[in-house]
Structure 1
Amino acid sequence: MPSRQKIIAFATMCLGMFIALIDIQIVSASLKDIGGGLSAGQDETVWVQTSYLIAEIIIIPLSGWLARVMSTHWLFCISATGFTLMSLLCGWAWDIQSMIAFRALQGFFGGSMIPLVFTTAFAFYQGKQRVIAAATIGGIASLAPTLGPTVGGWITDNFSWHWLFFINLLPGLYIAIAVPVLVRIDKPDFRLLKSADYLSILLLAVSLGCLEYTLEEGPRWGWFDDATIMLTGCIAALSGLFFILRTLYHPQPVMDLYALKDRTFALGCFFSFMAGLGIFATIYMTPLFLGTVRGFSALDIGLTIFSTGVFQILSIPIYSWLANRVDLRWLLMTGMAGFALSMYFFTPITHDWGADQLLLPQALRGIAQQFAIAPAVTLTLGSIPPQRMKLASGLFNLMRNLGGAIGIALCGTIINNRTNMHYNRLADHLTASDPAVSNLLNAGAQRMLSQGFSAEHAQSISLHSLSIMVLNEARTMAFSDAFYLLLVGFLITVVLVPLMKKP
């Protein structure tokens, strides 16, 4: 293929990857608006995001096998077409049940586009060009979810939540038409359908689907105190175990687990897992803090966290220049250390933090994202022979999404549990004999009395205000605890980077 055609083809596939990834988080800041528009409660509305994640995490590891059967360009074309159609139906959804169904199908079609971009980049480019391609992919993989809440909040505030989905129509149609014309790197092999391990596909789908449900709903329902969470957790573990055992001995596996015998690939999958954990956990916690503690609107939340994306974009040319001159392991170590430093600057968070205070830690995280994911892509997939690339790429991308799912569940659990603990500890120190507490309650009661409330109601409202103040402080301390745990995890990751083989 001519160089110009390669660039256009690669850019087109990157666009498909971008819209598939940004749609993970584009609804996160607008769930209340979607729920209101569809007359749905909070417990139902959260499935607008969860259904997409479950479907995406199931299809990603299967995309390598599907690409061998259908060819890369036709699978990408079908995926883009399905994604575009489901986006249209999501915007036309008439109730919450139809929205959840269309979002699941949207995630199913969108998820299969993501790993194909990785394999295409390694098929198109070699040497220094491959490093630049990996930098581009790494930037998109971390930038798209980061921009999701910002873009979603702006669209909802200026138009309506329906346009969160309609915005995909034009790029989706272009991708569906352009990719079959531009991309020619392999041919379909329908003979694989005869020898396919369909039982492994079923086991993998059941395991990942139940795992994602368990991780998403576990923090809300007290984990294994809930019978449904216990059941889905056990099904996920048993199905996953049977899938691994069967895949290791099947002559035509749907996932290349033997690639994990390569130390560099195994470590790269772990680093992909940690990068996903850092990206998605902080994308989850920062808007949650700004919404619950600060009371920011969807647009204000998006604008506040926008700085992460800005600094990541600014770091892309710096990384691209260094990547061809410095050992990629040093750049990967820099990225993981940057994540740790960012978490360190998040830990002193207080209840009055806003855009100004969040600027430094978010800037560090934006730079760290670029320096962590891009070299991990090059080092990990570059160690795999081309004939095994498709199956290995699905596993590598799965680890990033699993890291994100586990990171969100872990941080959600920490915030819930530590909030209760900090609230009880703070409440134990707030007694009527404390002059500061007494003065605060009296001032609040006097303010209510001046507004015409009775003495009894004034005292009750004053106590309630104090309780909310203590709860906000307890929540803030819990967020700090979660960031501290992430800091420890990334410090451990930094130590492991030198174990990768020199590229």
Structure 2
Amino acid sequence: MTDAVLHPDSGRAQAPAYLGSDGEAVDWVKIFLGFGGMVLGQFMAMLDIQIVASSLVQIQAGIGATSDEISWVQTIYLLAEVVIMPLTAYLTKMWGTRPFYVIAVIGFMVTSVATGLSTSVGVMIVFRALQGIFAGAMIPPIFATAMTVFPPERRVTANVIVGLIVTLAPTVGPTLGGHLTEALDWRWLFFINVPVGALVIFLVGRYGDFDRGNPDLAKGIDWWGLGLMTVFLLSMQYVLEEGSDEGWFQDDLILWLTVAAVLTGIAFIWRQLSYRQPIVSFTPFHDRNFSLGIVMIFISGASLFGGTFLLPIFLGQVRGFSSAEVGTTMLVSGLSMFLSAPIAGRLIRMVDVRVAMVVGFALAAWAIQLGVRVTDQWGFREFFVLQAVRGFGTMIAMIAAQQMAVSTLSVTEMKDASGLINLVRNVAGAIGLAMLSTILTHQSAVHYADLASALSVANPQGAAMFEGLTQMMTAGGLADPEGAARKAFSLMMHRQAATLSFGDAFGVLALGCWVAAALAVFAKPGKGVSLQGGGH
């Protein structure tokens, strides 16, 4: 197939047969093999975000890094990934999807090997950044391809596959990484990309002839816009990643980077709206469904990453679970999303996409809201329903939001829309994590102050608790039972304050999902993506 637009054969009375631009019937085996190669590439790119999470200690020892330095192995990957995502639409239009994707995979493989061979933290951070750039280039094209090479009746299935990758890769990343490190070595976290990447190159290179590039776009590239976008996204992502740990605007670097992000962001948007050949097109925002869809993709992204962020911290810090116990508990979310994907696809085909979004976000909101009542005794059983229903609802909401966002767009806008959707999802995750981190820190302090005043040793209830602890410490034969009792009393209040702050964080996440469910009502019913309008 040589053109991204598939034209229905109106001469047939039965279901339309989709033809290529040369008038020949489309070879669906080749289409699925080429698309499958891109799916595998996206999975590999997204897997590498979290695959190092469970092996940071081993990597730190292997390259002699400090605790602060090793965190950049993850952070720099995300920073670089975000910067390239909006550019993928422009670059795939200029070069064509197949050449662009193959180049990105080759670059990803080379930088993966270089990262695995690194002997110092500085070298690893540089190659990890380059790896993130190539990974970010591999993620958006798959959604644009799914929405352009498949006829309307197959697009939901393709969308379900994309949704599975988005949710499954981050879930299995830490588990797979831990097993690889234990069985081989932490360097194989990066070397494993070589055989997988080779398979992707073969499939996409041989069967991924989805469109043709337009070399004329190489003339008049908006370099000023590119520079402004780079500064804007890097500054914003760094502030979101590090702001909570650094006390936000109390840190001078965070303050000035925020100013830089605001100024360059405004300048970048103005430049793209006024320049004759923008590197990022905001045309899809003229469509009401796309604008609403972006809001809901943002909320579903924050819900997905936010829920994945809150549970491990609670289980580790409050319950004291081991890594294996946390992994076992968190497996419920991944399995729920994986198993619910076919059901979500069928539901979206059967009902109006707005109904699917309302149902998905309402289920996610109800499940997350269960966490408002969390106690310091919650574990696998108590979180089971929350995770299972949240995973099911989030999968429906995410797929439906993506489907609605592009349902009334033309084919020529798909690549721009895909880059924006993936960028918004990643930024939503970063904003969600930053917001939740701030809530946990702030509300924990507030709840501790409230508990300290309510359970002071000066009041009867507090005095009774303190006396009971002192007797326990005395019975234990401690040299300073009163001092030990004070310390235990303080730890109990800190634990309870932390638990209450997690309940507040779950409440904020649930509220966001309820808002998204309400917004879904205002979408227009989509009639499928127009198949007219030519190629890219």
TM-score (norm 2): 0.89
Q: Find out whether 1:443 has 2:472 as its counterpart.
A: yes
Partner of 2:127: 102
Partner of 1:348: 373
Task: Say if 1:397 and 1:441 are closer, same or farther in 2 by CA, change over 3 A.
Answer: same
Deviation at 1:240, TM superposition (A): 0.5
Question: Which of 207, 228, 235 is matched with 2:232 structurally?
Answer: 207
Deviation at 1:3, TM superposition (A): 0.8
Unaligned 5+ runs, structure 1: 450-454
CA contact (8 A) 2:232 2:265 kept: yes
Question: Which of 34, 43, 47 is matched with 2:72 structurally?
Answer: 47
Mapped to 2, the partners of 1:466 and 1:93 lie a distance apart of 47
Question: Which of 150, 159, 162 is matched with 1:137 structurally?
Answer: 162
Deviation at 1:411, TM superposition (A): 0.3
Partner of 2:497: 474
Mapped to 1, the partners of 2:501 and 2:139 lie a distance apart of 34
Partner of 1:452: none
Question: Which of 290, 304, 310 is matched with 1:265 structurally?
Answer: 290
Partner of 1:313: 338
Aligned-partner SS, 1:207: helix
Partner deviation per Cα, 1:317-346 (whole Å, 9 max, x = no partner): 212222222111111211111221121112
- The letter of the residue matching 1:416 is T
Mapped to 2, the partners of 1:381 and 1:196 lie a distance apart of 27
Deviation at 1:427, TM superposition (A): 2.4
Q: Find out whether 1:188 has 2:213 as its counterpart.
A: yes
Identity score, percent: 36
Deviation at 1:277, TM superposition (A): 0.6
Unaligned 5+ runs, structure 2: 1-25, 527-536
Mapped to 2, the partners of 1:37 and 1:295 lie a distance apart of 27
CA contact (8 A) 1:445 1:461 kept: no
Of Structure 1 and Structure 2, the greater helix share is in: 1
Deviation at 1:470, TM superposition (A): 2.3
Partner of 1:498: 521
- Return 342-351 or 222-231, whichever deviates more: 342-351
Partner of 2:6: none
- The letter of the residue matching 2:91 is L
TM-score (norm 1): 0.94
- Return 491-500 or 374-383, whichever deviates more: 374-383
- The letter of the residue matching 1:308 is S
Aligned-partner SS, 1:441: helix
Mapped to 1, the partners of 2:172 and 2:335 lie a distance apart of 9
Q: Find out whether 1:83 has 2:108 as its counterpart.
A: yes
Deviation at 1:35, TM superposition (A): 2.8
Mapped to 2, the partners of 1:386 and 1:372 lie a distance apart of 23
CA contact (8 A) 1:61 1:395 kept: yes
> Over alpha carbons, which structure has the higher Rg?
2
Deviation at 1:144, TM superposition (A): 1.9
Partner of 2:90: 65
Question: Which of 387, 397, 411 is matched with 2:436 structurally?
Answer: 411
Task: Say if 1:156 and 1:413 are closer, same or farther in 2 by CA, change over 3 A.
Answer: farther
- The letter of the residue matching 2:141 is L
Deviation at 1:81, TM superposition (A): 1.4
CA contact (8 A) 2:283 2:413 kept: no
Deviation at 1:310, TM superposition (A): 0.7
Question: Which of 94, 101, 118 is matched with 2:143 structurally?
Answer: 118
Partner deviation per Cα, 1:172-204 (whole Å, 9 max, x = no partner): 121123212111122233321221111111111
Deviation at 1:408, TM superposition (A): 0.4
Aligned-partner SS, 1:112: helix
Partner deviation per Cα, 1:93-118 (whole Å, 9 max, x = no partner): 22222222222111111111111001
Partner deviation per Cα, 1:347-372 (whole Å, 9 max, x = no partner): 21222222222111111121122201
CA contact (8 A) 1:146 1:279 kept: no
- The letter of the residue matching 1:435 is A
Partner deviation per Cα, 1:37-85 (whole Å, 9 max, x = no partner): 4333332222111111111111111111111122111111111112222
CA contact (8 A) 1:308 1:365 kept: yes
Tell me how large the CA RMSD over aligned residues is: 1.8
- The letter of the residue matching 1:480 is G
Partner of 2:12: none
